Amino acid sequence: MSTEAQDRTGGRNGLAGVPLAQIPTTRKDFVSDQEVRWCPGCGDYAILSALQSVLPRLGIRRENTVVISGIGCSSRLPYYVNSYGMHSVHGRALTLATGLAMTRDDLAVFVVTGDGDALSIGANHLVHALRRNVNLTILLFNNRIYGLTKGQYSPTSPAGAVTKSSPAGAFDTPLNPMSLALGAEATFVARTLDADQEALEETIDAAARHRGASFVEIYQNCVVFNDGAYEALRGPGREESIIRLRAGEPIVFGRDGHLGVVADPGGGVRVVEVAEVGLESVLVHDPTIDDPSRAFALSRLTSTGAMAQAPMGVFRDVDRPVYDDLVRDHVRREQEALGQDPSSDAALAALIAGTDTWQT
């Protein structure tokens, strides 16, 4: 492998500190000896497969790759990737990942989580990892249901969802993960779909190379408890439902691009027939705008009830100081200022003695 990945973004690469593999790795290197135990037909298989395809392409060493998860169906993933991994506590994967990223800039740290894990019990940590901009790649598998506990509604289930724990329909208002991430000023925010292998791989690849917190929401079908939740985005006619976001291109979708996204006088954006407004009125997507308002407006085009329409692609991709880099810089500067050999006892002994001692 070459150092191409590092050069491309001039040191802003998310993998900048990670040593490169001397012998190129292959997909097989990242397959563990553990039998994969998701339900047959689960969308998780496709995501695992995409990740195992992307990892060798990143060019980094397998032993410097770490996958950390919380609890839930998606969080079983680390067992299936032959790298270092940790299947941690429900909702808390990001806390472990933060400590690991702060102390080891030579690791590529991936976090695998779900809509229950990251948006319910662990929502607090998600907000803080994103606003701090810790150098992590976060993959959120959103199936809009609790799978491992067998079928209760999740924070992304549509209002009124009838589930085992909501026989009268859920009274909760669902959370939009893209809006949440953009509200927290996340620097890389993207959405993709389990069934779209090409976009999935491309998005995970871009997320891994982004320096800072990369947040990828993956719409994932749960065949047992919420089958068909994303049928509108997967089945025939999906081009009418998927608002594809491509940097530098007008945001048009639907058959022959008859639908487009335009600015709304209310400050948001809305979908119109392109023929009615003219292509020149359609917004050109630019994920690099520093102000997250436009990206946030785009995220609001997502259906809140049954899934009928959703923007897919990279909503936001900007540079912002990275928390763990700032911490490491601080420690380095302080160490230089102190000018002591960190391995010697002398500096520590002087510190401990303080300025006020006496002899007996």
Partner 1 sequence: MSTDQTSAQTRQVDRVVIRFAGDSGTGMQLAGGRFGSESAGFGNDTTTFPSYPAEIRAPQGTIAGVSSFQVQFASHEVTTVGERLDVLVAMGPAPLRAHAGDVRRGGLIIVDDHGFTPRALKRAGYEHNPLEDDSLGAYQVVHLDMTALTSTVVEALGLGRKQAERCRNMFALGLVSWLYSHPIEETIDWIDRRFASQPDVRDANIAALKAGVNYGETAELFTVRYEVRPAPMPKGRYRQITGNTATAYGLMVGAHRAGLQLFVGSYPITPASDLLHELSRRAGYGVITFQAEDEIAGIGAALGASFGGSLGVTTTSGPGFALKQEMINLAVMSELPLVIVDVQRAGPSTGMPTKPEQGDLLQALWGRNGESPLPVLAPTSPADCFDTAVRACRTAIEYRTPVVMLTDAFLGNGAEPWRLPDLAAIAPIDPKLAAGPIGVDEQGNPVHLPYRRDPRTLARDWAVPGTPGAEHRLGGLEKSVEAGTVTYSPLNHEEMVLTRARRIAGIPVPDVEVDDPSGRADVLVVGWGSACGPVSAAVQRLRGTGARIAQAPVRTLNPLPANLGRVLRGYARVIVPEMNLGQFATLLRARYLVDVRGYNKVRGFPLNVDELTAHLAGQLDEVSDSRTAQTTEESR
**Contact positions vs partner 1 (CB under 8 A):** 32, 34, 61-64, 66, 68, 71, 78-79, 82-89, 92, 94-100, 102-104, 106-107, 124-125, 127-128, 327, 330-331, 334-335, 337-338, 340, 342-343, 345, 347-349, 351-360
- Smallest CA-to-CA distance from 124 within 91, 97, 150, 157 is with 91
Query: Minimum CB separation from partner 1 for residue 84, in Å?
Result: 4
The CA angle 96-99-105, to the nearest 5 degrees, is 120
For 185, phi and psi rounded to 5 degrees?
A: 60, 40
- For partner 1, which is the closer residue by CB, 70 or 260? 70
Query: Minimum CB separation from partner 1 for residue 11, in Å?
Result: 21
Query: Minimum CB separation from partner 1 for residue 254, in Å?
Result: 42
Reduce the secondary structure of 47-91 to three states and give it as a string: HHHHHHHHHHHHCECHHHEEEEECCCCHHHHHHHECCEEEECCCC
Structural tokens at position 348 = 């520590």
Residues 6+ apart with CB under 8 A from 200: 46, 47, 50, 192, 193, 194, 218
- For partner 1, which is the closer residue by CB, 15 or 312? 15
Rounded to whole angstroms, the Cα distance separating 214 from 218 reads 13
Query: Minimum CB separation from partner 1 for residue 331, in Å?
Result: 5
Under 8 Å between Cβ of 255 and 241? no
Query: Minimum CB separation from partner 1 for residue 151, in Å?
Result: 22
Query: Minimum CB separation from partner 1 for residue 56, in Å?
Result: 14
- For partner 1, which is the closer residue by CB, 64 or 220? 64
The sign of the torsion formed by the CA atoms of 326, 332, 333, 338 equals positive
Query: Minimum CB separation from partner 1 for residue 351, in Å?
Result: 7
Under 8 Å between Cβ of 314 and 184? no
Rounded to whole angstroms, the Cα distance separating 30 from 50 reads 11
- For partner 1, which is the closer residue by CB, 1 or 127? 127
Three-state secondary structure call for residue 353:
helix
